[in-house]
Structure 1
Amino acid sequence: MTKWLILFLLPLCLSLALSRIVILYLGGRLLDTPNMRSSHEEPTPRGGGIAILISTLITTIIAVILGYLEERIVFWLIIPISLISLLGICDDFFNLSVKLRLLTQISIATFAVLFLIITEQSWKYPSAQDYIMILAMILFSTWMTNLYNFMDGINGLAALEAISVCMGMIFIYTFQDMHQDSTYIMFIVMACAFGFLFWNFPNAKLFMGDSGSLLLGLSFGLLVIEHSRENYSLTAAWMIMLAVFIVDASYTLFHRIISRQAFSQGHRSHAYQKCARIYKSHTSITLTIVAINSLWLFPLAVATSANILNPLIGLLIAYGPLIFIARKYNAGHPD
């Protein structure tokens, strides 16, 4: 009982309280003013990711001291997501350049991936294929960091995505009786997202900001690749649960690149943003995506992780309709 109070109730309460503190004391300095690229209409404080970061750090430190988590996870996950969140805080305050942000993200992802891989017992005589795999992991982690940031644009979406993905993967990990540390981390992330969600949905009194979306994106990127070399079915399950964010962000960016748009600039041409405008509701679109995660992607992820469904087939079944939706709503096309 004490374990779950620390792993869930503590981060939930911390995130809930600290989010309120951010609103009261930083809201004036971190105010998100609507512009042509925004999906909201009222000036709203941002920086809720600060509450998520502090809550995660406090809970993790306590969990490590009590022996619930191994110290190793601090180096390949907690330190990197803390650094990426600090980068987001700096960007929220000072609007850093795109090049500086990207170089820092790649550096942090490289540190995390190298620590994760090199500390594995199987890492003795690396081959050329191993180095290619490391590069792919670094690029994937960096992309996950950014795509989560891209998809944080309407009320509740980033937090509810984190909650629904964590809930799905916790079930899969628990059902297969595997990777206890990762399961505990997902409980902490889910609890922090719940605490923040109170202030962000359905009516947003606080936005997550880069400090939160970058943290969640890198967290999921590293969790995906944690066991990717030995468990392809589990990796596919992660990719299926994250499919809505991966497809929308990737399809949108791909179209903006091939159509020679200034893809590094802010925009509101993602499918979820277009749907929010068409149907005039953040809440309905956010809840629709949660329903897709729960009713469509979760069963596919379970079947794939249990080897009932071939990983490639599971990914095709999950991604095909989502690509169709992105195309239907002209993701990546300017308004």
Structure 2
Amino acid sequence: MKSWWFLLLVFAMSWGLTFFLRRYALAKSLMDIPNERSSHTIPTPRGGGVAIVISFLLALPVISGLDLLSHSVLYGVFGAGLFVAIIGFADDHGHIAARWRLLGHFTAAAWGLYWLSGLPPIGFLGFTVDLGWFGNTLAVVYLVWMLNLYNFMDGINGLASIEAISACVGMCLIYWCLGHVELIWLPLILATAVAGFMYWNFPRARIFMGDAGSGFIGIVLGGMALQAAHISIELFWSWLILLGVFIVDATWTLIRRLVQGEKLYQAHRSHGYQKAAIRWGHQRVTWMVAILNIGVLLPVAALVATGVFDGMLSILVTYACLSYLAYMAKAGIK
């Protein structure tokens, strides 16, 4: 019973902080002004994701003190997440050159990976391979891509929130069924903190998450997947399947824009979810992603976690199907 009261406190803190951040943004005119590349049409306060950051990070020392989270995971997730949030907050309130942002992101990712003990041996099709330093390099790139793609995918009402909540709750169910109760707390607290913010962002956006919140969620989700990989590599594949909509849409769009010779740092509105939102509206697309995550990706992730499906093969098939959806949505095309 005490655990539910603690989660209620995290939700209330996130909800209340978002309320005050919205009032602060309105008072200081910290507004996201629509332009030809925006998915919204009216000026809207930004920076509400700071509420998620504060609520989540304040909860970590508490659960660590209750022996529900190891000190190494605490240091890794807390440090990496805080550093990314600070960079995003500064960028939300001014501008940081892309090269310095990227340097900060790689630093945060390296810090998190160090405390999470690197990338464990990878198993696929019955084989296990220890990639050593090369694997750790790939893991750092993976974390940097996760935090950036989450920023790219935070463009319509509620989408970034529903992705985090559905992935975290889905993995909590898998952890519970498989007896990995020690892994439940991080995703459960993140989902709760995001839910407090989401009240103000969906179905009508009264405040936006901003880079501080989206980048933070991305690297924390990536870190939780690596944490799970040390328990079972199948759990790592399960995380990647549940996050497949964001990973595939962002990666497909990036590759298409590269092929077309476009400037990657230039703002655009060519992601698959943005094309879909133009056609069907923000609310419908967000619910479609939620249904896809829960109704399709969660069962596949659960079958991978239990060993019924091979993880690597399931990733390839799942991502191929999602890539087809991105192709049909004309993701990456102006």
> Above 0.5 in TM-score?
yes
Query: TM-score under structure 2 normalisation?
Result: 0.93
Q: Alpha-carbon deviation of 1:96?
A: 1.1
Change (3 A) 1:306 1:96: same
Unaligned runs of 5+ residues in structure 1 are 121-126
1:14 and 2:16 matched = no
Matching residue within 145, 150, 175 for 1:173: 175
Aligned to 1:34, the other structure's residue is in SS state coil
1:192 and 2:187 matched = no
What corresponds to 1:203 in structure 2?
204
Contact 1:304 1:310 in 2 (8 A): yes
Distance 2:218 2:294 in 1: 20
What corresponds to 2:150 in structure 1?
148
Change (3 A) 1:244 1:156: same
Distance 1:129 1:326 in 2: 31
What corresponds to 1:23 in structure 2?
22
Contact 2:116 2:226 in 1 (8 A): no
What corresponds to 2:245 in structure 1?
244
Distance 2:243 2:100 in 1: 27
Q: Alpha-carbon deviation of 1:179?
A: 5.6
Change (3 A) 1:323 1:128: closer
What corresponds to 1:258 in structure 2?
259
1:303 and 2:312 matched = no
Contact 1:44 1:207 in 2 (8 A): yes
Q: Alpha-carbon deviation of 1:312?
A: 2.5
Unaligned runs of 5+ residues in structure 2 are 121-128
Distance 1:70 1:128 in 2: 24
What corresponds to 1:233 in structure 2?
234
How much identity, in percent, do the aligned residues show? 34
Q: Alpha-carbon deviation of 1:114?
A: 1.5
Contact 1:113 1:137 in 2 (8 A): yes
Q: Could you list the per-position Cα deviations for residues 96-154 of structure 1 after superposition, in whole angstroms to 9, with x for gaps in the alignment? A: 1111111100011011111211699xxxxxx9931011101100000001000000000
Contact 1:10 1:59 in 2 (8 A): no
Q: Alpha-carbon deviation of 1:165?
A: 0.3
Change (3 A) 1:76 1:307: same
Query: TM-score under structure 1 normalisation?
Result: 0.93
Distance 2:119 2:324 in 1: 41
Q: Name the aligned partner's letter for residue 213 of structure 1.
A: S
Q: Name the aligned partner's letter for residue 201 of structure 1.
A: F
State the number of aligned residues.
325
What corresponds to 2:123 in structure 1?
none
Distance 1:129 1:248 in 2: 27
What corresponds to 2:141 in structure 1?
139
